Each structure stands twice: as C-alpha cells, then as structure tokens.
Amino acid sequence: MNKVIPFPYFSYKSKNVEAEPSYVRGTIFENNYFSFKISVMAGLSVDSTKNAAREDMPDLDYLFEVGPMLILKLWKSDNNLHEVTFESPFRRVFSTNFTRVDQVGWWSVPYLNYRINPNKYTLGFAADLSAAVMFADNGYHDYFYSVDKKYETSERVEYDAAGGYSGVQLCMVLEKRIGNFIFIPVVRYDYLNRAVFEDSPLVKTKSYFAFLLAGIYLVK
C-alpha cells in the first residue's frame, strides 16, 4: 500500500520542548546521564473498505498517544558526532474520529538508538539507527487484531488478542538539509514472529519492510 500525504510542517525547539507534526516532547528533568520527558504521538486512520483483511469490519480511527519517556545517555564521542541512548516511551493510546474519543490501551517500545550527527564522512547526512522490542496490553492488541464473532467469515475466524510481546522493530532514519529543503528517507523492518497476536486472522505476514520518503520545504 502506498500513500502520499501532503501536510504543513512545523518545528519548534527550546530548552524544554520539542514539537513537530508527528510528536511533541516536553522535558521534565535532564542531566548528563538521563532525561525524563512527556511525549505525545499521533497515528493515521485505516479505511476497512480498502483493507481486504478487515472487509466489513469497523474502520480504525486516528490515534494519539501520551505518556512518559525515559532516555538514558549511554555514550557520546568526544567530538559530539556519535551518541548512543536507550529510550523507553510508555504511552496511553486513544482513538478518535473527531466526534468522540475512546481509550484503546497501553503501548511501549523501548529501543537502543545510535545517532550520527552530520559530518563530511556521512556526506552531510544525520542518521538514527535503532533496535526496539515492542509491548502492548490486551486493549491495544484487541483494537488491531481481535475479531468479534459477528465479523467472523469462512476466512476470518473469531479471535481475542492478548497483551504482551508485540515483536521487534529495526529502523533507520536519515536526514539532510540543503538550503530550506530537508530530505528524510526512512526504512523500517518489523518482525512479528512469536508476538502474542501472531495467530490473529488479521495478521497476513510475520515480517515486513516499510519505507517513507519525506520532503520538507521550510518557509521562514
């Protein structure tokens, strides 16, 4: 499935707040060893009429997530070009169709992140390489992977998703700024083997790649 999503882009950074269209983070406490933040994320909706696995099932609404995030600063090079952190968000997830807001569940994706700041050896690119293990409660998994009996078909059996291990995620985010243009390619790999919901009839593959190419033109 391919999507093209044009949207206005904004970015705000101060000593205690970072804000972009996909997330907001506010620093509660920070020192040389760790920081504690409050983070907010947003997610897109899913139209079930365009998803064969969810045909005749309810659409998935837009999501927003809010919760604490702990960042441990494990290592930084003397020239500040390289940095390794352990980051652990733990968020409460809500769904909305803009007429109501429903609670979905809890979600967490602790990950190890290696950051390379722009330099001549990376041709001016910044890079983030991360490896994460995902977890969620039964409410979150139920929203995505459960099938009520009334939606059961010959190819889609009734299923009740449990909470727990949700799989592994590997991600690479590159970023390069040329004048007022920012170029951001993203590659993500999810491996769902042995996830607690792997037997759901809505799971059609145990691993997949996702690619994102973002282009941002800054107007000052």
Specify the pLDDT at position 3: 54
pLDDT tens over the chain, length 220 residues: 555 554 555 555 656 666 554 455 677 778 888 888 888 888 888 999 999 999 999 999 999 999 999 999 999 999 999 999 999 999 999 999 999 999 999 999 999 999 999 998 899 999 999 999 999 999 999 999 999 999 999 999 999 999 999 999 999 999 998 888 888 899 999 999 999 999 999 999 999 999 988 887 777 6
Taking the CB of residue 167, how many other CB atoms lie within 10 A of it? 21
Q: Judging by DSSP bridges, how do beta strands 12-13 and 17-20 pair with one another?
A: antiparallel
Answer for the pair 158, 211: CB distance below 8 angstroms, yes or no: no
CA dist 188 and 49 (Å) reads 26
CA dist 46 and 55 (Å) reads 11
What residue segments make up the domains of the chain, in order of their start?
12-217
DSSP summary character for residue 138 = H
Taking the CB of residue 209, how many other CB atoms lie within 10 A of it? 9
Q: Judging by DSSP bridges, how do beta strands 101-108 and 111-116 pair with one another?
A: unpaired
Q: Quick one: how far is CA 92 from the chain centroid?
A: 13
Specify the pLDDT at position 21: 46
CA dist 134 and 179 (Å) reads 37
Q: Which of 124, 159, 147 is nearest to 56 (CA)?
A: 147
Specify the pLDDT at position 215: 81
Tokens of 132: 């994460």
Q: Quick one: how far is CA 5 from the chain centroid?
A: 17
Pick the CATH number of 12-217 from 2.40.128, 2.60.40, 3.30.460, 3.40.50: 2.40.128
3-state secondary structure of 48: helix
Which backbone phi and psi does 99 adopt, to 5 degrees? -115, -15
